[in-house]
Chains A and B, each alone.
Chain A
């Protein structure tokens, strides 16, 4: 009971201050702070802790069966703590995507899924949520092993969120309403909201199962069938979750899971002539490719959730301690590997010096280490490529004249750990202020007045999210409306409830995920117009 209460509290606000106090901001308290310091100052990473889970599913899931790739090829998935191989995984390519699409097409055109009652679909999704909940710890262990994120974060936030999202979408299944519409003449007009068909979904490695839920949940609630490609860095947890969905009663072929690489399996899905809809989360560069492939093939509609360089704006009336904690969380959460990371911290000049000092102190207290160890806030980056890229950005920050307040190097001497890094005196034209670093690198910029910060915050080709920290209602309202972004968090950040839509302005993407809005991605609207004889009213 106590643990379920705690989870529900975590869930109710997802990943934000209230729950943060119990989970993320331990550095603030004296006793815990000291304990965490012990980890963060330890230079060497100890022998990696053995994850409490066995890898059972490494094949592709096609038409309800786990099968090898047609080519017989496999690829290794790596433990980011060490770079060692966790397991080899079947590598999907064009032929496998063709098989998966055929299975999904058959399941959509002839299978029971779109034809069963919404109530039955709801029950299957609810059963799946119960199974995810039952296997919370195994799913969490797979997630952390493959991704490097703290196990406590997986087990207490992300898997419960997966469960929550499936329950949320289960509740939508029987409430998908078309409209009856007025016409200018004697016509009876209805809109039918029909499932769009076979959905291709490509998800990233930073929140494998949460992204799985954002994509799979609404598509299934609306009655579609799916070919899902996981990221090559993190194929394990989705295979297990998909297996649990089958166990919950999802008919074969409704959800097919392909592990593999973007240029091969991903491109095959994006350019497939028999995929009716595409949803992609990943980098802006890849998003462009995906959109182009969709345009060149069958003009399938595309939902894109891409990169960001989100501003976190600390106004002069803000409570500095709270702002520091939340800005720290906004950037460093999940090793900085969030598309909506608050990666440009704009601080009003009146509180700037105090903020820098405290932000630096907080970064120094951040507990970095083996994600399977209790109390750890930050694990390794996902892979060597990201690791090198982040270190390159840090060098660029130093070279361009930003002040390195703390961090700046790898952490320990094995695996892909990076020290929590804080730059101050960052200028708008520096690379670290313009490009998405996707790592634990906080860039702090100074500002004078609102108009200026609005202009600077909007001066980016991204538009995913923003944080606003102020006590003043007018400041909050002005910033909220002026920022060209898909989500504004006021005195909060990374609040990811199931019902809150998420997505980008500008080059951060198209469409919205989560909430009622996400259903639109997976529905066709059919207007039905019937002529009326002698209607009693119009």
Chain B
């Protein structure tokens, strides 16, 4: 792996939006408090951001409530919501570079990936849900007697959305677009590490014509602003993406307040299972990307790699070679594969897991150290000779740390893969149709990728089994999260058919 490359030639745009976005206006927090958002390349402060506390959340919820109860948004035809959302998508496309820069500097993500992939993808996601806004169908039912019954799919109301820092843009639209398409109004809290792009999207939403109060963005901390959202008595639904521990708090707060339904997209320790018939080189590439993409800061990271014994040695050699060639450095440098971890806290946590792995007796094949002496860069790290009860096999590390394990039979692989409290994703690499089918039905996870990984799509739902959460993001399933089902029943008389 190479050392830290210089990306200083990149000219950062000035930061335009640092306040809370409530009821269509950028406003200071009521307390006047601010917090710092940090450049993970250096640990330096990028700018200060208004910090939402409970009072600000109350204001945002009030605005969202008025917008829902008496504003035009849920009352306009879905086609009209779609037009405004489409306009929003176009505005994002006009501002791709600026938004990409915001996420790169705030989250340490690769600028060129953001510019070419993630940010244009947000426009695509918005168009997908815009196209669904006029296709929300209830059903006419088949009652067992002389009744006429049908279902109305109604927007659920004011929704609280809490998103993480690893994909500030993708998570923003993945939550906001279906909520808006459904006719809901939104109070969104971005992660305190990455508030910048959310505020920019809010600004563009207003330009596109999304009415005031429909989308409110309130940067702040989980324990304060986040808790105020999850325990709010006037929020009708919360959708959260983050860690399993915090997910538990979110659900508890919902239960203790107004029993709002919650959807949770939480942690994972997803297996990639590679069988003897796989092309070893391709499999090694896939597995490496599965753990190193976005610095391993992705809930569906393929962090446990199971390789069948026939190709294990060759695989191990190749994956280590590839890891050594992986370039870590400034995310604005187009030659770089991996930027810094998002924060000092994450950086230290990952290094402590690595130390723990060594102490537990796993073999460190490569990596294991920080890169450079500034910022939060970590070497791509691979452990082998792991046991299933080791912490590095059981816990979500959320960093560039792969654990590698050998297996003999399909049954053994399935058992090992399912031996986790998580169930978010899985990868299978095989040419065999039978293996692919058997394993994909046996893994207890919300998405299974066969001979691919991270193959996301707007129309493809994903979400967790077990302690990886419940509810689905993406696809029409995600739209339904933001809809209430109302059955309407009335007697009929002398109907010619039933």
Interface residues, chain A, with chain B CB atoms under 8 Å away: 8, 11-12, 118-119, 122, 126, 164, 167-168, 170-175, 177, 188, 473-474, 477-478, 481-482, 498-499, 516, 530, 532-537
Contacts and interface: CB of A to CB of B under 8 A. Distances in A.
A482 B496 contact: yes
Contacts of B493: 474, 477-478
B452 interface: no
B352 interface: no
Contacts of A536: 438, 441-442
Given A11-B79, A164-B79, A171 B124 contact: no
Given A168-B79, A516-B137, A174 B437 contact: no
Contact of B127 (A122, A177, A481, A532): A122
Given A167-B79, A171-B132, A174-B458, A532 B441 contact: yes
Contacts of B80: 8, 12
Contact of B82 (A118, A171, A534): A171
Task: Rank and list the top 5 A-B pairs by shortest CB-CB distance, nearest first.
Answer: A171-B131, A536-B442, A12-B77, A536-B441, A533-B434
Given A170-B131, A175-B131, A533-B438, 16 more contacts: A8-B79, A119-B458, A126-B127, A167-B83, A171-B131, A171-B132, A171-B135, A172-B131, A478-B492, A498-B79, A498-B134, A516-B135, A532-B434, A532-B437, A533-B434, A537-B441
Interface string B10-41: 00000000000000000000000000000000
Interface residues of B, number: 34
A535 B437 CA distance: 8
Contact of A481 (B76, B135, B441, B496): B496
11 contacts: A122-B127, A171-B135, A173-B131, A474-B492, A474-B493, A477-B493, A481-B148, A482-B496, A532-B437, A532-B438, A536-B438
B128 A174 contact: yes
B438 A12 contact: no
Interface of B: 76-77, 79-80, 82-83, 86, 124, 127-128, 130-135, 137, 148, 433-434, 437-438, 441-442, 458-459, 476, 490, 492-497
A488 to B, nearest CB: 13
Contacts of B134: 168, 171, 498-499
Given A12-B80, A498-B79, A530-B437, A171 B459 contact: no
B131 A477 contact: no
Contacts of A118: 459
A206 to B, nearest CB: 24
Contacts of B496: 481-482
A24 to B, nearest CB: 20
Contacts of B459: 118, 174-175, 177
A443 to B, nearest CB: 25
Contacts of A170: 131
B497 to A, nearest CB: 7
Nearest to A533: B434
A477 B77 contact: no
B441 A478 contact: no
B409 to A, nearest CB: 12
A231 to B, nearest CB: 28
Nearest to B129: A171
Nearest to B459: A174
Contacts of B133: 171
Contact of A477 (B83, B148, B476): B148
Contacts of A530: 433, 437
B437 A533 contact: yes
Nearest to A187: B437
Contacts of B494: 478
Contacts of B438: 532-536
Contact of A122 (B131, B433, B492): B131
B441 A126 contact: no
A12 B492 contact: no
B340 to A, nearest CB: 32
A119 B124 CA distance: 8
B492 A174 contact: no
Nearest to B495: A481
Contact of B135 (A8, A11, A175, A535): A175
Name, among B76, B77, B132, the residue most crowded by chain A CB atoms within 10 Å (CB to CB).
Answer: B77
Contacts of A478: 492-495
B133 to A, nearest CB: 8
Given A12-B79, A477-B148, A498-B79, A175 B132 contact: yes
Contacts of A171: 82, 130-135
A474 B131 CA distance: 36
Contact of B492 (A175, A481, A537): A481
Contacts of A535: 437-438, 441
Nearest to B77: A12
Interface centre among A122, A164, A481 (most CB of B within 10 A): A481
A175 B497 CA distance: 32
A230 to B, nearest CB: 27
Nearest to B414: A536
A481 B497 contact: yes
Contacts of B495: 477-478, 481-482
A534 B437 CA distance: 9
A535 B83 CA distance: 45
A87 B134 CA distance: 40
A462 to B, nearest CB: 18
Contacts of B124: 119
A447 B337 CA distance: 79
Contacts of B77: 8, 11-12
A10 to B, nearest CB: 11
A22 B294 CA distance: 56
Contacts of B137: 516
Contact of B476 (A119, A175, A188, A482): A175
B241 to A, nearest CB: 23
B211 to A, nearest CB: 13
A498 B493 CA distance: 31
A536 B444 CA distance: 10
A478 B492 CA distance: 7
Contacts of B83: 8, 167
A501 to B, nearest CB: 11
A444 to B, nearest CB: 26
B295 to A, nearest CB: 28
Contacts of A174: 128, 131, 458-459
B182 to A, nearest CB: 14
A344 B437 CA distance: 59
Contacts of B82: 167, 171
Nearest to A538: B441
Given A532-B438, A536-B442, A477 B132 contact: no
Contacts of A11: 77, 79
Nearest to B492: A477
A172 B130 CA distance: 11
B373 to A, nearest CB: 44
A116 B294 CA distance: 28
A173 B131 CA distance: 9
A473 B492 CA distance: 9
A45 to B, nearest CB: 38
